[in-house]
Amino acid sequence: MAGDEELRQAFRELATKVTEAKQRIAQGEVKKQSALRNEKSSRLAASQLKELGDRPTYHGVGRMFILTSSTAEIERHIKEADDFKQSAVAVDKQREFLEKSVEESERNLREMVSQKRSSDS
């Protein structure tokens, strides 16, 4: 009977782990979509600034604007786009890690069940 309790506990832990992993994956997908949208916006802004040529531009900071060169603004937008791209890649890596973790837990539980069956026989 102690083995049955161990299995029940393992099933509960697996169910909890799967639920938490699914929630974190869903949150990661929302974060990834937001990052990709922001990346696209930054790249679009950089391309539009390139079309304007070398004119003075204003960068909004809070409730004020700072006068900067268009090349500095283009570089800033490109850097922002790269940062957003990296955060989307990080979310993908986290998703892979979570999926592997859940798969490994399922594998361990299957082994525990098969050992229980072989010991009962």
Q: Is 25 exposed, middle or buried (0-12, 13-18, 19+ CB in 10 A)?
A: middle
**pLDDT tier, 38 (very low <50, low <70, confident <90, very high otherwise):** very high
| Rounded distance between C-alpha atoms, residue 93 and residue 86, angstroms | 11
pLDDT band with cut points at 50, 70 and 90 for residue 3: low
For residue range 59-112, list pLDDT tens digits in order. 999 999 999 999 999 999 999 999 999 999 999 999 999 889 888 888 887 887
The answer to whether 11 and 109 have CB atoms below 8 angstroms apart is yes
Which regions of the chain does DSSP assign to beta strands (E)? 56-61, 64-69
Domain boundaries, the chain: 2-120
Whether 13 shows a pLDDT value over 60: the answer reads yes
* Residue 15 pLDDT exceeds 90: no
Measured between alpha carbons, how far is 32 from 39 in angstroms, rounded to an integer? 10
| pLDDT given at position 65 | 95
Any bridge partners for residue 65, and if so which?
A: 60
Would you say residue 1 has pLDDT above 70? no
The answer to whether the pTM exceeds 0.75 is yes
Q: Is the CATH number 1.20.1250.20 carried by domain 2-120?
A: no
85-96: pLDDT as tens digits: 999 999 999 999
Q: How many CA atoms lie within 13 A of 16 on its CB side?
A: 6
